[in-house]
Amino acid sequence: MTAPARTAAPATSGQLATFRLDGDLYGIEVEHVQEVLRSQQLTRVPLAPTAVAGLINLRGQVVTAIELRERLGRPPRPEGTDPVVIVVRLHGEAVSMLVDSIADVVDVDASDFEAPPDTLEGQARDLIRGAYKLHGQLLLALDVQKAVSA
Amino acid sequence: MDGLDDIVEEFLVESHENLDQLDSDLVALEQDPNSRERLSSIFRTIHTIKGTSGFLAFNRLEEVTHVGENMLSRLRDGELALTPARTSVLLQMVDTVRALLTSIEASGGEGAVEVAGVVAAITAAMDDAPAAAAIPAPRTGTPAKATAVKAPAKAPAKAAAKAPAKAAAKAPVKAAKTPARKTTARKATTPRATTTPAAPAAGPLDDAPLAVLVDELPEGANAVMPERTVEEPAAPAPAAEQTETEAPSAGGDGQARRGVADSTIRVDVDLLDELMLLVGELVLTRNQIVQNVARQTDTDLIRASQRLNLIASELQEGVMKTRMQPIDHIWSKLPRVVRDLGLQCGKNVRLEMEGRETELDKTLLEAVKDPLTHLVRNSVDHGIEAVEARRKAGKPAEGVLTLRARHESGQVVVEVADDGAGIDPAKLGAKAVQRGLVTPDALTRMSPADILQLIFLPGFSTAAAVTNVSGRGVGMDVVKTNIEAIGGTIEVESDAGVGTVCRLRIPLTLAIVPALTVECAGDRYAIPQISLQELVSLDAEKAANAVEEVGGAQVYRLRGELLPLVRLTDVLGLTSERHDGHVVIAVLRSEGRRFGLVVDRVINTEEIVVKAVGGQMKAIGLYSGATVLGDGTVALILDVQALARRALRTETTERSQEAARDAAAAAASSETDRQRMLLAAIGGGRRVAIPLDTVTRLEQVRTESVEKVGNREVVQYRGAILPMVRLDRHLGAYGETDREVLEVIVYSDHGRSVAIVVEEILDIVDGEAAVRSDIDDLGLLGSAVLGDKVTELLDVRAAILAADPAFYSAHPTAPATPTGVPASLLEV
């Protein structure tokens, strides 16, 4: 549905919903985004993978929340700052990601796309499809499918 | 004509239902070939399909049903007798019809389904009857001709009945359909002016908008039915057959039948699902409001919330009822399965059904369909013996397979019972050992009931195991998984030579379940009430005494029985927030085993709506779902079966599985027998170890209640007189003599019990890594280092005999193989 294999260079043009995480700018295809919520009460799930931050009640529907910082191998969010919840819909199932803050919807062009830099390490390498070179900043294209399948 | 697709669709839905009915009717007919009622019912069903197929230009379908109808009409009129051969061709016809319908459903056309063979077979089956020649041609022709005339009329009748439904939405009746309506009215009334019921039945077609929304197809079918009722007044209308219970009442005049048709309604399952979802939300909101209002003082508000509470409950019940269907829906296919399989295996099997009206939720019905069919097939295939074998065993040649369904304490219990050969635990056990699923040692300690459970092990479901071990294992693990997936359980009971019973327990509905909410480490969890037996709350002082705090194996003496305890915090890897020593135990039962789940506190009971959780959560295997509690927070629902399996691993057959795997790895070292030992002090600093599986109960007995019979000490216990043996004296140790309360280990076997008195229960340990020596003494089997101290291994048999010399000789098997106990001890 989403990203073909990395080698197939998913250099698509279109709109990305962007958000910030530990200082970096990430983007996911806007059509996957169902909604964005302010901080939600989380119910932790003992024994779940560490990236599972918990379950949230989305108007009666129980939705898993993935801590994207954990998923990307970033340090935990500083105390006292509330995450923002991005609810995405994949294969008809809603999943949510916890990020630092939400940013604009950005039009991207395939010609600006570049494969992930070789310096990228760890878990992040699997999840980031590449980068769009925006003015003065890189927009990291996140493979949302992989990111939420913790 | 865009209505055509709808008509075809309706036709398919109706025909499939009719076919299922047909299967069971045909099989029933075989049992009772003279039942004109069955014949009439079958005839009408085929007739209905044929009529519509003619109208819809499904020629091959028409051809098959036409010739089938001919045969049926002659059977009905008594011109032909029903023979097994004829039944077989009729069933063949049904199969062909089904194939055609499937093709129509898939491609919109009759596809490549061949009908000539069946037509020839039916014709041949008709002709071989001597009576055939004598039948005047016109007679056989009559029904066929009649239907040829009727056919066009009938289908339009459906179209017409449907048209107003559409008309209600779109404005006028379509021109294309108008003639059809006229035709129907004319056909239905004019040529059969004598059949008065036809008139009222045709009525709704004219003032359709009123009647139609209620019932589309059955109404249409009924509208043309009266003309046939005159011919077979006794038979129920096929259209009403989906409501079995109501069908008989439909046998009367047209008026009564209309009542049935009007009082039922076909609803899209998706719509019902949606309603169910909404009701679920309503129940949650109700919970929330009721909880909040409980803190208010406004009496009007309280009253309103009580009303809301009531209404929501009733609404929930009502919506749930709409989704309930009699189990007969899935049972109706089984007579055919049993018949075919019986023929195939050369067995004579009678299928009996009890409680076919028992209702359960449609989604659950779907979920149990396959497992049930599987169990039935198993019973016929492997359970019931061939005729010869049955005769030898002194049983009637005809095997009986009984399906029973009933409601029992909020569950549906479905039993598949046969009077076949049963499962021989010895053979089964041997097979399990051979397959490496269990060690020979472990097997000797298993009760026959435990051994039966082995058929649910995944490794058992291989083809080789099937034939050799009376075959109950085929896919039984899959059956079990499927049943557990819907929150049900399965158990097997078998008496070798007498028969086998598979019992399924299924919740009534999936969506809303009563649950107990508990708190653990600050979070709330829901435990379905279905597995909850009781709650035990112990204050710190009591808990300190009653809970045996021993390494790895905590037990609580619940009314004398040992209840293994499992701390939820341990299972979940959390830390309890309760430090006051208070212990709250939820006593749970799963797969026939009881255990106590220790939680921080119990919150309350409430009805929860089960929500699916994502794949990652399911993979953890401890949660069966999640729910939203009254205050809007999410709580996880504990999967009690998984919990039991995980927590009681060492106690269950999985231990055997593991042991088997270990054994395979460590090859020769058969010593990997992890026997659990109860350590007790007997005075003088001496400790003895007693295999835990020989212990039935731990009790405390007041010294003053000890009585004497001759020179033996006895104690009255649960209405029986228990002989006592004081282990200190028996083993020559010297304990305190002036104790008020005696610690007693009760050992029972074959209905006899003895009480072994020790000074103190110390611990429960794994005997596995123990260093053993052969230094023994009277009454001892040796010694070992258990828990860093030298411990004597008690010769339980000798101790018991000291208390009750007749203990083993009371039952015949004892002297040779002193059941289980000493045997396992000796092998240690």
**Residues forming CATH 3.30.565.10 domain(s) in chain B:** 325-462+474-507
Give the pLDDT mean for B478-484.
81
Q: What is the pLDDT of residues B154-174, one digit of tens each?
A: 444 444 444 444 444 443 434
The amino acid at residue B13 is V
In this model, does residue A17 exceed pLDDT 90? yes
* pLDDT score of B201: 39
Query: B626–A43: do the CB atoms touch at under 8 Å?
Result: yes
Cα distance from N-terminal residue to C-terminal residue, chain A: 18
* Chain A to chain B Cβ contacts (< 8 Å): 61
* pLDDT score of B727: 80
Give the distance from residue A95's alpha carbon to the nearest chain B alpha carbon, in angstroms.
8
Out of A95-104, B223-232, B553-562, B684-693, pick the least confident. Answer: B223-232
Give the pLDDT mean for B113-130.
77
Separation between Cα atoms, residue B571 and residue A46, nearest integer Å: 9
Write the class of the CATH domain A14-148.
mainly beta
Query: A60–B628: do the CB atoms touch at under 8 Å?
Result: yes
Give the pLDDT mean for A30-46.
89
What is the H or E stretch that residue B557 is in? Answer: strand B555-558
In this model, does residue B635 exceed pLDDT 90? yes
**Residues forming CATH 1.20.120.160 domain(s) in chain B:** 1-127
* pLDDT score of B402: 93
* pLDDT score of B824: 33
**Residues forming CATH 2.40.50.180 domain(s) in chain B:** 512-652, 674-803
Query: B636–A55: do the CB atoms touch at under 8 Å?
Result: yes
> What CATH homologous superfamily does B1-127 map to?
HPT domain (1.20.120.160)
* CATH number for region B512-652: 2.40.50.180
Query: A95–B614: do the CB atoms touch at under 8 Å?
Result: yes
In this model, does residue B74 exceed pLDDT 80? yes
* pLDDT score of A85: 94
Which residues on B lie below 8 Å from A64 (Cβ)?
Answer: 613-614, 616-617
Please choose, from the candidates A131, A129, A63, A134, the residue with its C-alpha nearest in 3D space to the C-alpha of residue A97. Answer: A63
Give the distance from residue A47's alpha carbon to the nearest chain B alpha carbon, in angstroms.
6
The amino acid at residue B620 is I
Taking CA atoms, B574 is separated from B477, B569, B570, B577, in Å, by 32, 5, 6, 9
Residues of B at the A interface, defined by Cβ within 8 angstroms:
280-281, 284, 523, 572-574, 611-614, 616-617, 620, 622-623, 626-628, 632-636
Q: Which residue of A has its CA nearest to B615?
A: A149
CA dihedral sign of residues B361, B364, B366, B371: negative
Residues 3-62 of A with CB under 8 A from B: 41, 43-49, 52, 54-57, 60-62
Q: What is the b/e burial string over B206-227, where b = at least 16 CB atoms within 10 angstroms of the residue's CB? A: eebeebbebbbbbbbbbbbbbb
CA dihedral sign of residues B48, B53, B54, B55: positive
* pLDDT score of B205: 40
* CATH number for region B325-462+474-507: 3.30.565.10
Predicted ipTM of the assembly: 0.86
In this model, does residue B245 exceed pLDDT 60? no
* pLDDT score of B195: 37
Q: Residue with structure tokens 């999410």?
A: B634
Separation between Cα atoms, residue B804 and residue B756, nearest integer Å: 11
Q: Which of A62, A85, A93, A97 is the best mutation test for B, with the most CBs of B within 10 A?
A: A62
Separation between Cα atoms, residue B556 and residue B585, nearest integer Å: 9
* pLDDT score of B739: 72
* pLDDT score of B781: 67
Q: How confident is the model at residue B687 (pLDDT cuts 50, 70, 90)?
A: confident
* pLDDT score of A36: 93
Give the pLDDT mean for B193-211.
39
Which residues on A lie below 8 Å from B642 (Cβ)?
Answer: none
In this model, does residue B410 exceed pLDDT 60? yes
Q: Can you give the pTM of this predicted structure?
A: 0.48
Q: How confident is the model at residue B4 (pLDDT cuts 50, 70, 90)?
A: low
Q: How confident is the model at residue B525 (pLDDT cuts 50, 70, 90)?
A: very high
Contact B135, B76 (CB under 8 A): no
Q: Return the percent helix, strand and coil in chain A, to nearest 5.
A: 15, 45, 35
Query: B634–A62: do the CB atoms touch at under 8 Å?
Result: yes
Q: Which of A40, A43, A71 is the best mutation test for B, with the most CBs of B within 10 A?
A: A43
Separation between Cα atoms, residue A134 and residue B715, nearest integer Å: 89
More reliable by pLDDT, B198 or B427: B427
Q: Residue with structure tokens 């045996």?
A: B548
Q: Which of A45, A59, A61, A85 is the best mutation test for B, with the most CBs of B within 10 A?
A: A45
Out of B68-82, B232-246, B396-410, B507-521, pick the least confident. Answer: B232-246
Separation between Cα atoms, residue B825 and residue B78, nearest integer Å: 74
pLDDT, averaged across chain A? 84
pLDDT, averaged across chain B? 71
Q: Report angle CA B93, B96, B100 to the nearest 5 degrees.
A: 140
Q: Report angle CA B318, B322, B328 to the nearest 5 degrees.
A: 130
The amino acid at residue A67 is E
Q: Which of B279, B286, B634 is the best mutation test for A, with the most CBs of A within 10 A?
A: B634
* pLDDT score of B511: 63
* pLDDT score of B153: 41
Kindly report the number of other CB atoms within 10 A of residue B510's CB atom: 18
Q: How confident is the model at residue B151 (pLDDT cuts 50, 70, 90)?
A: very low
* pLDDT score of B421: 83
* pLDDT score of B765: 65
Q: Please state the φ and ψ torsions of residue B619, each to the nearest 5 degrees.
A: -65, -25
Question: Which of B66-80, B148-162, B214-228, B436-450 holds the top average pLDDT?
Answer: B66-80
Which residues on B lie below 8 Å from A45 (Cβ)?
Answer: 617, 620, 623, 636
In this model, does residue B16 exceed pLDDT 80? no
* CATH number for region B674-803: 2.40.50.180
Cα B396 versus chain centre, distance: 29
Query: A57–B612: do the CB atoms touch at under 8 Å?
Result: no
Q: What is the pLDDT of residues B754-811, one digit of tens each?
A: 888 888 777 766 555 444 555 555 566 666 666 667 777 777 777 777 777 777 665 4
More reliable by pLDDT, A98 or B616: A98
In this model, does residue B238 exceed pLDDT 80? no
Q: What is the pLDDT of residues B731-758, one digit of tens each?
A: 776 666 667 778 888 777 666 778 888 8
Q: What is the pLDDT of residues A55-110, one digit of tens each?
A: 998 877 889 999 999 998 889 988 888 899 999 998 878 899 999 999 999 888 88
| A46, A55, A150 ranked by CB distance to B634: nearest | A55
